[in-house]
Amino acid sequence: KNQVEQSPQSLIILEGKNCTLQCNYTVSPFSNLRWYKQDTGRGPVSLTIMTFSENTKSNGRYTATLDADTKQSSLHITASQLSDSASYICVVSARGGYNKLIFGAGTRLAVHP
Amino acid sequence: NAGVTQTPKFRVLKTGQSMTLLCAQDMNHEYMYWYRQDPGMGLRLIHYSVGEGTTAKGEVPDGYNVSRLKKQNFLLGLESAAPSQTSVYFCASSYGQETQYFGPGTRLLVL
């Protein structure tokens, strides 16, 4: 069964600190992996996308990694800001006639001053 | 560009009532999607469309119908609302199977 699991479920950090969010998936055949940021009361917004051959992708203070062998991805946030408070969703695409997206439940991050 | 817009933003229904959620996009995307998001769960695909006049079932289509009469609009209908349909509904669109762009969501409460 195609699944995407994220950890931790929630996380509280102080402003300026770094943090790493984890994503494990069992999706086959794998097409790509995306990280989305979802602010409270808003729709998700894409942060990064990685294909099978990519193992690192950065977007400002966000750096995503992908290990296709172990089927794990992480999202590292550097020098956190209050505006980073949001849910971060890992989404894996399964290759097919229609590339089905499997969404993780998300990690809710709270950055405190 | 407004991107993806959804109406209404919030709605309360009684069990058995019907309603239609409207999604509009101004990015000329071929693909459009309807998802629901429930606490502790990932977004689940209800229905999707790969072009004007076409629709297909997603992961959780029961109790919902859709129509794509115009390329820029994708309508989600609930014929007889049930409390289990209380959720936040998101519409999204994409150019082919590239990154999906999401609307702001519609919060629906069924009593």
Which chain B residues are within 8 Å of A99, Cβ to Cβ? 97
3-state class (DSSP) for residue A13: strand
Q: What is the pLDDT of residue A99?
A: 66
Which chain A residues are within 8 Å of B102, Cβ to Cβ? 43-45
Other Cβ atoms closer than 10 A to A65: 18
How far apart are the C-alpha atoms of A7 and B93, rounded to whole Å? 28
Q: What is the pLDDT of residues B52-101, one digit of tens each?
A: 999 999 999 999 999 999 999 999 999 999 999 999 999 999 988 778 99
Q: What is the pLDDT of residues B42-51, one digit of tens each?
A: 899 999 999 9
Say yes or no for a CB contact (<8 Å) between B102 and A102: no
Give the ranges where B13-88 is alpha helix by DSSP (H): none
Q: Which residues of chain A have pLDDT under 70?
A: 97-99
Instruction: Decide: A40 and A49 in contact? Cβ < 8 Å.
Output: no
Both tokens of B16, joined, read 């058995």
Q: What is the pLDDT of residue A97?
A: 64
Both tokens of B89, joined, read 């509904």
How far apart are the C-alpha atoms of A45 and B68, rounded to whole Å? 24
Say yes or no for a CB contact (<8 Å) between A41 and B104: yes
Q: What is the pLDDT of residue B1?
A: 72
Which chain A residues are within 8 Å of B50, Cβ to Cβ? 98
Q: Under 8 Å CB-to-CB from B21, ≥6 apart: which residues?
A: B6, B7, B8, B34, B75, B76, B77, B78, B89, B91, B106, B108
Q: What is the pLDDT of residue B33?
A: 95
Q: How many residues does chain B have?
A: 111
Model confidence band, residue B3 (pLDDT cutoffs 50, 70, 90): very high
Higher pLDDT, B5 or B95: B5
Amino acid at the residue B25? Q
Output b/e per residue, A11-41; b: 16+ Cβ within 10 A: bebeeeeebebebbbebeebbbbbbbbbeee
Give the ranges where chain B is alpha helix by DSSP (H): none
How far apart are the C-alpha atoms of B6 and B73, rounded to whole Å? 10
Q: Are strands A30-38 and A56-59 parallel, antiparallel or unpaired?
A: unpaired
Which residue from A41, A93, A103 is facing B43, i.e. has the nearest CB?
A103
Q: What is the pLDDT of residues A58-90, one digit of tens each?
A: 999 999 999 999 999 999 999 999 999 999 999
Say yes or no for a CB contact (<8 Å) between B43 and A99: no
Across the beta sheet with B4-7, the strand order is: B4-7, B19-25, B73-78, B65-67
- From start to end of A15-85, where are the E strands? 19-26, 30-38, 45-51, 56-59, 62-67, 72-77
- From start to end of B2-105, where are the E strands? 4-7, 10-13, 19-25, 31-37, 44-49, 56-57, 65-67, 73-78, 87-94, 101-102
Other Cβ atoms closer than 10 A to B45: 21
